[in-house]
Amino acid sequence: MLDNKISFTLNGKKVEFIGDPLRRLIDTLREDFGLTGVKEGCGEGECGACSVIKDGKLVTSCIIPMGSVAGSDIWTIEGIRDTELGAIIIEAFADGGAVQCGFCIPGMVLASYVLLSEKTNPSELEIREAISGNICRCTGYDLIVESIRLADSRRRGV
Amino acid sequence: MSASCYIPENLTEALEIRKKVHAIPLAGGTDLMVQAKRGIGINPVFPAPIMIITNLEELKGIRVEEDGTLVIGALTTSAEIASDERVFYHIRKAASLMGAVSLRNSATIGGNIANASPKGDLPQPLILLDAEVVLSSIDGERSMKVDDFITGAKKTALKDDEIIKEIRVRPVKATHLFYHKIGTRRANAISKLSLSILADVEDGIVKDFRASSGAAGNKVKRDRNVEMILIGKHIEELPSLVEEFTSAWDGILSPHAMPKYRRESTRRMLSYFLERIAAGAEPGIIE
Ligand SMILES: Cc1cc2nc3c(=O)[nH]c(=O)nc-3n(C[C@H](O)[C@H](O)[C@H](O)COP(=O)(O)OP(=O)(O)OC[C@H]3O[C@@H](n4cnc5c(N)ncnc54)[C@H](O)[C@@H]3O)c2cc1C
Ligand code: FES
Ligand code: FES
């Protein structure tokens, strides 16, 4: 089996992966790049704990092989937290009491980031839809939805 | 370690690899990666060589040809289909209800068809619309109806040197549309039942009528003979045909795949649609 060289962008920096193209993106991020904000819940695309942003879209990194990542632009919570919108969302989550155990939160923040990048003043339905693939076992979602609202109004300065 | 894994750079290279070693195409990977899962930090293993085709540009995107035929590249994702107004209602709606956001960003239409799961959501509307798959190999192309391509549960007519290139849907005239899916839960819901219906009513006459049921047996259920019960009839006659039609429809559903209460839901939705048309419902989506 030949090791493949796969180039992609990770949190804004060009990086290279050399290895089995079937290696899961989540394992590469956590083990090879030390980005442990990416969490593994179900490992089957169901819970959203492993969410990352790939070419501007939310995806679950536990079911993406490295071979699919070639040439992509990948963002994890470690990169998003330093962006202006990312920082606003994280602060709103803290202020809005959206965080309990915290396991789902990186995925939730990334889902919120994609939503708020695409839409201003989203409806409650749109917010719930945007986070529908992110399972939270602690909060019952209402405080998360409220916090996303709060983030949206803060970044609009209202 | 995996048998081997290829990342072809273009379609021709992919078809050569497919011909030579019959490598299994991996598109979005949302079915394959779950099947091959071995655990945290352990690379998935497949019984045969794999080729990752996720980024083959030639198989991406949606276009409309001069005669109105809609062409959807095999690697087009459910999210892309759901957000494209040019796509026929039933396909768009089915794509928009697949899984949750992130699943729809990875899952492809080619993968959904090739996977041929009776619970897969896209074959159902595609079969309603008589859509065709175009199959490519290094030796040429052939096409066939999706309904003929999917031969049973997890079974297709795909040859080991072929890949699905695109899906073609010729324009279908319709005045009244209906789609409904009953899933397992809110997000990432796999179908327990899905139903598409369309009717083309002109001057009170039912010019065309079609329905297709998903998750209803080993494959999508559709039957032109049953549809013929309604075709050519005046909408005023529909109420008197509901019983005959819905019973005939019930007869084509598999009692094993669909328990009685779910077959009853199908019957109720069909009756509702027909009653609305008989009552002179405005053209559009029946909700
Ligand atoms: C959490 C979760 C939720 C889901 N929810 C739904 C749902 O609501 N509805 C639904 O229908 N499905 C659902 N699925 C199943 C799956 O996402 C779909 O079947 C999807 O469309 C598969 O596409 P893919 O590109 O990911 O396929 P892959 O996993 O890449 O491939 C699937 C099969 O198709 C073959 N294949 C792929 N592309 C081609 C091609 N171009 N030519 C020939 N063969 C090809 C592969 O070799 C493989 O056999 C869900 C899956 C997960 C993990
Ligand atoms: S760990 Fe990836 S979706 Fe659950
Ligand atoms: S805060 Fe615990 S899972 Fe969401």
Q: Which residues belong to CATH 1.10.150.120 in chain A?
A: 81-156
Q: What is the mean pLDDT of residues B180-209?
A: 87
Between helix B260-278 and helix B238-252 the angle, nearest 10°, is: 150
Distances (CA, A) of B106 to B145, B148, B170: 25, 26, 26
pLDDT over threshold 90, residue B175: yes
Domains of chain B: 5-169 (3.30.465.10), 176-281 (3.30.390.50)
CA distance, residue A154 to nearest chain B CA (Å): 25
- What b-and-e string marks burial along B58-97, b requiring 16 or more CB atoms within 10 Å of the CB? bbbebeeeeeeebbbbbbbbbbbbbebeebbbbbbbbbbb
pLDDT digits (tens, 9 = 90+) for A49-99: 999 999 999 999 999 999 999 999 999 999 999 999 999 999 999 999 999
Q: From the CA of A88, how many Å to the nearest CA of chain B?
A: 22
Q: What is the pLDDT of residues B42-66, one digit of tens each?
A: 999 999 999 999 999 999 999 999 9
Q: Is the CB of A104 under 6 A from ligand 3?
A: yes
Q: Over pLDDT 70: what percentage of chain B?
A: 97
ipTM over 0.90: yes
Say if residue A121 is exposed, middle or buried (CB neighbours under 10 Å; 0-12, 13-18, 19+): exposed
Q: Is B21 on the interface with A (CB under 8 A)?
A: no
Q: Is the pLDDT of residue B99 over 80?
A: yes
Confidence (pLDDT) at B190:
72
Output the pLDDT for position B256.
80
CA distance A36 to A158: 34
Over residues B193-197, the mean pLDDT reads 95
Chain A closest CA to B173's CA: distance in Å? 32
The secondary structure of chain B as a DSSP string is --S-EE--SSHHHHHHHHHHH-PEEESS-TTHHHHT---TT-----SS-EEE-TT-GGG--EEE-TTS-EEEETT-BHHHHHT-TTS-HHHHHHHHTSS-HHHHHH-BHHHHHHH--TT-SSHHHHHHTT-EEEEEETTEEEEEEHHHHEEETTEE---TT-EEEEEEE-----SEEEEEEEESSSSSPPEEEEEEEEEEEETTEEEEEEEEEESSSSS-B--HHHHTTTTT-BGGGHHHHHHHHHHHHHHHS-TTTS-HHHHHHHHHHHHHHHHHHHTTPPSEE--
CB-count burial class (<10 Å; 0-12, 13-18, 19+) for B133 = buried
Check whether A1 has a pLDDT greater than 80.
Answer: no
Please, what CATH class does the domain formed by A81-156 belong to?
Answer: mainly alpha
The residue nearest atom 4 of ligand 3, judged by CA position, is A136
- In percent, how much of chain B has pLDDT > 90? 89
Residue B1: per-residue pLDDT: 44
B contacts of A132 (beta carbons < 8 Å): 100-101, 186-187
Full-model pTM: 0.96
Judge contact between B252 and B221, C-beta under 8 A: yes
Between B61 and B183, the higher pLDDT residue: B61
Task: List pLDDT tens digits, range A10-55.
Answer: 999 999 999 999 999 999 999 999 999 999 999 999 999 999 999 9
Q: For residue range B19-41, what is the model confidence (pLDDT) as tens digits?
A: 999 999 999 999 999 999 999 99
Cα of A119 vs centre of ligand 3, distance in Å, is 25
Determine whether the shortest distance from the Cβ of A139 to ligand 3 is under 6 A.
yes
| Highest CATH level, class, for A4-76 | alpha beta
Pocket probe for ligand 3: among A40, A51, A101, the residue whose CB has the most ligand atoms within 8 Å is A101
Which DSSP symbol is given to A76? -
Of A1, A54, A63, the CB nearest to B33: A63
Whether A63 sits inside 8 A of B34 (CB atoms) is yes
The pLDDT value recorded for residue B123 is 97
Mean pLDDT of B152-179: 97
Report pLDDT for B188. 64
Residue B215: count of CB within 10 angstroms of its CB: 26
B48 touches chain A (CB under 8 A): no
Query: Which of the four pLDDT bands, split at 50, 70 and 90, describes residue B254?
Result: confident
Q: pLDDT category, B2, cuts 50, 70, 90?
A: very low
Name which of B79, B99, B106 is nearest A64 (Cβ-Cβ): B106
What pLDDT, in 10s, does the model give residues B104-136? Answer: 999 999 999 999 999 999 999 999 999 999 999
Residue among A40, A63, A70 whose CB faces B29 most closely: A63
Instruction: Measure the CA–CA gap between B96 and A17, rounded to whole angstroms.
Output: 33
CA geometry: angle at B232 spanning B228 and B234, to 5°?
125
Comma-separated ranges of CATH 3.10.20.30 domains in chain A: 4-76
pLDDT band with cut points at 50, 70 and 90 for residue B255: confident
The Cα B170–Cα B77 span in angstroms is 20
